[in-house]
Chain A
Amino acid sequence: MSVKSPISSVNDFVVRFANVNGSGSASANELFARAILRHGVPVSPRNIFPSNIQGLPTWYEVRVTEAGHLGARGGVDMMVAMNPQTWDKDVAGIEPGGYLFYDSTKPIPSSKFRNDITVIGVPLTAITNSTYTDPRQRQLFKNIIYLGALCALLDMDPKLIEQLIGEQYKGKEKLLSSNVHALHLGRDWALQNLKCPIGLQVKKSDRVGDRIFIEGNSAAALGAVYGGATVCAWYPITPSSSVAEAFTSHCKKFRHDPETGKAKYAIVQGEDELASIGIVIGASWNGARAFTATSGPGISLMTEFIGLSYFAEIPAVIMNIQRAGPSTGMPTRTQQCDIIACAYASHGDTKHVLLFPEDPAEAFEFAAACFDLAERLQTTIFLMLDLDIGMNHRLCRPLKWDDARQYDRGKVMTAEMLEEGRDFGRYLDVDGDGIPFRTYPGTHPTKGSYFTRGTSRDRYARYSEEGAVYADNMQRLVRKFETAQDMVPRPLQANAGKPTKYGVIYFGSTAPAMDEAIGILEARGHHLDRMRIRAFPFHSSVASFVADHDFVYVVEQNRDAQLRQLIVNENGIDPVRLVPILHYDGAPITARFIANAIGDHQDHLKVTPLRKAVS
């Protein structure tokens, strides 16, 4: 088979594993990614999985990136094709000059290959079957055997993989030694029968530093533990379930009284999302820090309660791990498609605070911050994650906590304050910031009680249908939202190396692809100032950023340019000034996509400057 200039690259390539869901490949593939990290080389892995338990195709993609580009790249340099169902598509997806790794136990007709790639056959099934008799062992160890072969082909240090296996099976000697044995079976076969290494190679480096490798959902759950959440109510929904599951395991580790063994938390799996948010609101009303985790369909169900939280001013934290909608949509694919649904959730005039973390480290910080914000602002705070951050391991800075930090429990009137004769009006704006005081149930025998309701009431929580009373309250809620603007994480701005008339706004999981795209665009001569929005309501700097540029690209992962709509709507900006760059096929956005879309637009501008055309 003729090979056209095989790709040669050290520490910068993409390996994609095509597997069958439920075959136990996930742990071997993750081991591969971790092993590369142990070489000091950053990786960015992504699970591409079906909404299925067993049998459907699943992929695991590992981007090896010494330069530290953690967004998806697009394209595949090496395909580990372990799934006959997707063979044709998998082979077709390899970059010219790339590599195909497959199980050569059974002959495959030459028409099934390509002549512009390097084909590497390893008789995995034959090796496995001659070594193991148990069917489950055969399946699991086949995965470790291909890992061993890859170790030889990519010139990886087997000791580093052994070390990882040792950590994984600490105390389980039998499993440990049999995994190491399988690893060497594959490696030895490759060394004896194939030309090793190939053009793609992993060389030791020092680019990982002290960074950690964690999934966003786990980090957000840990943020909830550190942020003092004591009540979690949830209903299983992909891709958010692992938030509650991680919260459960973190709590088991950190939240049991050492003496009594009793739990300093309560987790309830609700019968649906309505019950979950109801429990959160009941608990928060009663002074506990409570949260739920869900995804789009859950948000739709929760909206009535979200309106209650807004209007009756009850704290709540909702972690929304976004997936592709509408309706059931694509449950296992990523999008940033609930921006409008969350910002304006529920009937009537409502507005809600949204936080947009870019990675697990920020998910941890923002999750903890959500509880302070919810209690300070007495309203719902959304932590807007997505599947890409939530369910993939991401390399990020270590998590940090300041031990001097105290929880901001917000304006709570205590029995002592009531005794002093402080005037308590549940909806009284005493400080001019729109935020009233609240009391916890059971505070004082004769003072400070009130009746919470979703109906209109006056400043002292007395039922009222008077128009002026209603409007007074609604205006105070606007003031409160203005107060929120300066409490939420501010946008981060980075200016281009050269003065430029163009800017770009982006948020959340788009960040790593955007950072990489900036480099590509600069190489093409396009310079852009950047702003990463981290929260809604928008800080005033968002409007000034738009005002300071002729055009601002708004990059997001949905069809309808939802963040752009929100910016236009909330700041009264001429929509023409904001150019949407939209990616919404369910796969994570890539630097290549952004650079091409913005680059093409910029090239077009050079032909006919839009500024002249519209002026």
Chain B
Amino acid sequence: MTYIAKPKFHHPGLKKNELGYTHRDYEGKISTLCAGCGHDSITASIIEACYELSIEPHRVAKISGIGCSSKTPDYFLGNSHGFNSVHGRMPSVLTGANLANRELIYLGVSGDGDSASIGFGQFAHSIRRGVNMTYIVENNGVYGLTKGQFSATADRGSKSKKGVTNTDNAIDLVAIALQLGATFVARSFSGDKDQLVPLIAAAIRHKGASFIDVISPCIAFNNHAGSTKSFDYVREHNDAVNRLDVLVGRDPISVDYAPGTVQVVEQHDGSRLALRKLDADYDPHDRLGAMTFLQKHAAKGQIVTGLLYVDPDAEDLHTHLNTVETPLNTLDEQALCPGSAALDKINASLR
């Protein structure tokens, strides 16, 4: 990490988005993670995605658990409220926050220890409830802050920095998310910003449970030979099934695409996802197909990345609960309290 404070001034000619915000308006405090950490690249991608979507920075709520990844919400969207909660419990805190105010954008940031070990249950249940959120796991297969223990996403047979071989089977969060009904599922690599930024943007625009597993190598404890989460290993084994462009507003679809190579998916909010197919057989609308595809490629040691599944007509928890459009946190006595006349009737019925 650097200890030099970030200067407040910026170039007057810095590009502005539709709302007039510059890139800098989406930044946060200076990162305290190790130099070269994959997580900082994800932070940069989140900033980029929010800038490009012209989101009002303060309309995002950033919620995380505990761990290196969970520290990162302090490093982006400095004008948003953030909540670094309890280890493994980001999903429940996010669910509650979402119930209180359905109008904000909820960004859940977690790690592999946070989501696949201590918080596996909360991860699973927030997905099955269909909470409208973007759930990003910054997955490095290792516990960084406690210095290099395996996490539950570490592949069986991979080696720790100290040379210990992992004998436990790995949890593939993407496979679980698919099985539990997530309506937007993607995997990416922190070292591939071109792939990651549009995936984050598309996930934010998706109304439902969006899950992105981002392989994010740990420079300090999991970037050695024998690791399956190192920069080298992921680059060599990355099997991207598609590339994505997110089109919002009236942007015409770029004419650069060769005919037949692009599939356009229109999401519920009107945003369009232009998918450039890299694997001709891959269909991101086929949940079962995606699950099989993942398993087959995992068996070959390949890491499948890209937009793996999307249901453009997804529903969310608020739809299931049939809640009012007005955020619950703005309802007052008038709206909530039945009053003394109703209470008199209740009393009468209890005699």
Give the chain A neighbours of B339 by CB distance below 8 A. 401, 403
Q: Is the CB of A401 within 8 A of B96?
A: no
Q: A212-B351, A264-B331, A278-B85 are in contact. Are A441 and B338 (CB under 8 A)?
A: no
**Which candidate, B53-61, B193-201, B214-222, B232-240, is the interface stretch facing chain A?**
B53-61
Q: Is the CB of B58 within 8 A of A444?
A: yes
Interface size of A as a range? 35 or more
Q: Give the CA-CA distance A228 to B334 in the complex, in Å.
A: 10
Q: Is the CB of B321 within 8 A of A274?
A: no
A398-453 CB contacts (< 8 Å) to partner B: 398-403, 405-407, 439-446, 449-453
Q: A230-B336, A231-B328, A400-B343 are in contact. Are A286 and B101 (CB under 8 A)?
A: yes
Q: Is the CB of B99 within 8 A of A268?
A: yes
Per-residue CB contact flags for chain A residues 324-357 toward chain B (1 = under 8 Å, else 0) read 0000000000000000000000000000000000
**Contact of A407 (CB < 8 Å), options: B86, B95, B318, B333:** B333
Give the chain A neighbours of B330 by CB distance below 8 A. 287
For the complex, is A581 an interface residue (Cβ under 8 Å from B)? no
Per-residue CB contact flags for chain B residues 63-106 toward chain A (1 = under 8 Å, else 0) read 10000000001100011111111100101111111111101100
Give the chain B neighbours of A398 by CB distance below 8 A. 344, 347
Q: Give the CA-CA distance A231 to B323 in the complex, in Å.
A: 11
Q: Is the CB of A282 within 8 A of B100?
A: yes
Give the chain B neighbours of A262 by CB distance below 8 A. 322-325
Give the chain B neighbours of A455 by CB distance below 8 A. 84
**Which candidate, B121-129, B168-176, B270-278, B285-293, is the interface stretch facing chain A?**
B121-129
Chain B CB count within 10 A is highest, among A399, A443, A444, A451, for: A451
Give the chain B neighbours of A406 by CB distance below 8 A. 333
Q: A442-B61, A445-B56 are in contact. Are A286 and B100 (CB under 8 A)?
A: yes
For the complex, is B2 an interface residue (Cβ under 8 Å from A)? no
B46 → A minimal CB distance (Å): 15
**Contact of A441 (CB < 8 Å), options: B80, B343, B350:** B80
Q: Is the CB of B328 within 8 A of A226?
A: no
Give the chain A neighbours of B346 by CB distance below 8 A. 222, 399
For the complex, is B1 an interface residue (Cβ under 8 Å from A)? no
Q: Is the CB of A264 within 8 A of B335?
A: yes
Give the chain B neighbours of A175 by CB distance below 8 A. none
Give the chain A neighbours of B104 by CB distance below 8 A. 286, 441-442
A273-288 CB contacts (< 8 Å) to partner B: 274-288
B261 → A minimal CB distance (Å): 40
Q: Is the CB of B122 within 8 A of A226?
A: no
B298-351 CB contacts (< 8 Å) to partner A: 317-318, 321-325, 328-333, 335-340, 342-344, 346-347, 350-351
Residue in chain B with minimal CB distance to A364 = B343
Give the chain A neighbours of B89 by CB distance below 8 A. 274-275, 278, 305
For the complex, is A605 an interface residue (Cβ under 8 Å from B)? no
Q: Give the CA-CA distance A441 to B57 in the complex, in Å.
A: 11
Q: Give the CA-CA distance A565 to B91 in the complex, in Å.
A: 38
Q: A278-B122, A403-B340 are in contact. Are A305 and B86 (CB under 8 A)?
A: yes
Q: Is the CB of A304 within 8 A of B93?
A: no
**Contact of B96 (CB < 8 Å), options: A233, A257, A454:** A233
Q: A212-B347, A213-B350, A274-B122 are in contact. Are A255 and B336 (CB under 8 A)?
A: yes
Give the chain B neighbours of A452 by CB distance below 8 A. 81-85
For the complex, is A263 an interface residue (Cβ under 8 Å from B)? yes
Q: Is the CB of A231 within 8 A of B100?
A: yes
A16-48 CB contacts (< 8 Å) to partner B: 37
Give the chain B neighbours of A233 by CB distance below 8 A. 92, 96
Q: Is the CB of B350 within 8 A of A212?
A: yes
Q: Is the CB of A445 within 8 A of B58?
A: yes
Give the chain B neighbours of A290 by CB distance below 8 A. 96, 100
For the complex, is A266 an interface residue (Cβ under 8 Å from B)? yes
Give the chain A neighbours of B99 by CB distance below 8 A. 230-231, 266, 268, 279, 282-283, 288
Q: Give the CA-CA distance A156 to B351 in the complex, in Å.
A: 18
Q: Is the CB of B95 within 8 A of A228?
A: no
Q: Is the CB of A282 within 8 A of B95?
A: yes
Q: Is the CB of A226 within 8 A of B321?
A: no
For the complex, is A271 an interface residue (Cβ under 8 Å from B)? yes
Chain A CB count within 10 A is highest, among B94, B98, B340, for: B340
Give the chain B neighbours of A280 by CB distance below 8 A. 96
A376 → B minimal CB distance (Å): 16
Give the chain A neighbours of B85 by CB distance below 8 A. 278, 281-282, 308, 452, 454
Q: Is the CB of B329 within 8 A of A286?
A: yes
Give the chain B neighbours of A49 by CB distance below 8 A. none
B66 → A minimal CB distance (Å): 8
Q: Give the CA-CA distance A267 to B58 in the complex, in Å.
A: 27
Q: Is the CB of A279 within 8 A of B350?
A: no
Q: Give the CA-CA distance A452 to B94 in the complex, in Å.
A: 13
**Contact of B97 (CB < 8 Å), options: A226, A268, A441:** A441
B28 → A minimal CB distance (Å): 9
Give the chain A neighbours of B125 by CB distance below 8 A. 270-271, 275
Q: Is the CB of B86 within 8 A of A270?
A: no
Q: Give the CA-CA distance A81 to B187 in the complex, in Å.
A: 66
Q: Give the CA-CA distance A283 to B325 in the complex, in Å.
A: 16
Q: Is the CB of B79 within 8 A of A228?
A: no
Q: Is the CB of B103 within 8 A of A442?
A: yes
Residue in chain A with minimal CB distance to B81 = A441
Residue in chain A with minimal CB distance to B338 = A254
Q: Give the CA-CA distance A45 to B65 in the complex, in Å.
A: 47
Q: A265-B328, A268-B129, A441-B101 are in contact. Are A278 and B82 (CB under 8 A)?
A: no
Q: Give the CA-CA distance A308 to B85 in the complex, in Å.
A: 8
Per-residue CB contact flags for chain B residues 113-148 toward chain A (1 = under 8 Å, else 0) read 000000001101100010000000000000000000
For the complex, is A122 an interface residue (Cβ under 8 Å from B)? no
Q: Give the CA-CA distance A279 to B98 in the complex, in Å.
A: 9
Q: Is the CB of A449 within 8 A of B321?
A: no
Residue in chain A with minimal CB distance to B119 = A274
Q: Is the CB of A228 within 8 A of B96?
A: no
**Contact of A278 (CB < 8 Å), options: B86, B329, B335:** B86
Q: Can you spell out 27 A-B residue pairs with CB atoms less than 8 angstroms apart?
A: A210-B351, A231-B328, A257-B324, A260-B324, A261-B322, A262-B323, A263-B324, A266-B323, A266-B328, A268-B95, A275-B89, A275-B95, A282-B94, A283-B99, A283-B329, A285-B97, A286-B61, A287-B100, A287-B101, A288-B100, A398-B347, A400-B340, A407-B332, A442-B58, A442-B104, A451-B73, A454-B86
